[in-house]
């Protein structure tokens, strides 16, 4: 099976800060990958580069075999992105917002309506479609962002801290949606929550200071580090952060 996402030698500098350092990874359909790391590890920077929002300082990214630098529009169509604190338009109703986002992706008329309907169903937001975005609870806001990210049914989905700040029930909802879609997509979920990595993901990439420090199934990552606790692995491989 061909790789859906290929990243080679990727770096991003902000002045003196090296947020992502010479990072390489390959991912396939059906992989639900936890991009696990402490705050400041470079998770959002990595996702922002894959989505095309940030330009890398070095390295390359291929989406479905094509370099995103040469195929920026096609790549964006193949990637759904729920960014951290995704900007939503507070004045619009949920329905209007999703119509608008679908139009931005080039859909119109019945096709647009159908895309919006399917995404709303999956995200379970049908009951708030006529509500203004500014009146929604945090859980619903996240689900609207989620619906937006899956509008074009993209083969690659980037979810940046999708359950951050949600209560336990809301977390369960989001994780159920991720599980439903995981089989026929490549999903990259950035998180600093160990239980999220363990429960929804079938591959764990541990990232620290912009570099991959572990990569494999949960069982592989635990075995490599001779422990049964992901928390211990996380601590061992990321605790250098505080010593500086």
Which segments of the chain does DSSP mark as H helices, in order? 43-50, 72-77, 94-104, 109-122, 138-149, 168-182, 194-200, 218-224, 230-238, 240-243
Between β-strands 58-63 and 17-27, what pairing exists: parallel, antiparallel or unpaired?
unpaired
Task: Tell me the closest approach of the beta carbon of residue 47 to ligand ADP, in angstroms.
Answer: 8
Concatenated DSSP letters of 126-157: GGGTTSBGGG--HHHHHHHHHHHHTTT--SEE
Q: Other CB atoms closer than 10 Å to residue 130's CB: what's the count?
A: 9
- Judged by CB under 6 A, which of 23, 27, 42, 98 binds ligand ADP? 42
Compare residues 30 and 40 and give the one whose CB is closer to ligand ADP: 40
Task: Tell me the closest approach of the beta carbon of residue 191 to Mg ion, in angstroms.
Answer: 9
- Binding track, positions 2-31, relative to ligand ADP; x by CB under 6 A: ------------x--x-x------------
Using CB distances below 5 to 8 A depending on partner kind, what does residue 17 bind out of Mg ion, ligand ADP, none? ligand ADP
Compare residues 116 and 213 and give the one whose CB is closer to Mg ion: 213
Q: Give the DSSP letter of residue 93.
A: B
Binding site for ligand ADP (CB under 6 A): 14, 17, 19, 37, 39-45
Binding site for Mg ion (CB under 5 A): 43-44
């Amino acid at each position: 099976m061909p790789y859906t996402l290929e990243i080679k030698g990727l770096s991003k500098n902000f002045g003196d800060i090296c947020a992502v350092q010479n990072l390489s990874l390959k991912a396939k359909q059906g992989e639900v990958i936890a991009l696990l790391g402490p705050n400041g590890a470079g998770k959002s920077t990595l996702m922002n580069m894959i989505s095309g929002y940030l330009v890398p300082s070095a390295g390359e990214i291929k989406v479905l075999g094509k370099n995103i630098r040469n195929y920026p529009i096609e790549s964006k169509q193949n990637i759904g992105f729920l960014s951290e604190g995704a900007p939503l338009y507070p004045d619009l109703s949920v329905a209007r917002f999703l119509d608008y986002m679908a139009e931005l992706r080039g859909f119109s008329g019945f096709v647009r309506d159908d895309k919006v309907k399917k995404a709303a169903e999956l995200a379970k937001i049908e009951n708030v479609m006529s509500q203004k975005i500014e009146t929604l609870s945090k859980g619903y806001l996240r689900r609207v962002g989620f619906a937006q990210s899956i509008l074009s049914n993209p083969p690659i989905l980037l979810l940046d801290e999708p359950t951050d700040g949600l209560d336990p029930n809301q977390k369960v909802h989001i994780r159920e949606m991720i599980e439903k879609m995981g089989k026929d997509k490549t999903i990259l979920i950035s998180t600093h929550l160990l239980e999220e990595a363990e429960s929804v993901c079938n591959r764990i990439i541990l990232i620290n200071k912009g570099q991959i420090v572990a990569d494999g199934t949960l069982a592989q990552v635990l075995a490599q580090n001779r422990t049964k606790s992901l928390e211990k692995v996380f601590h061992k491989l990321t605790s250098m952060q505080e010593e500086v």
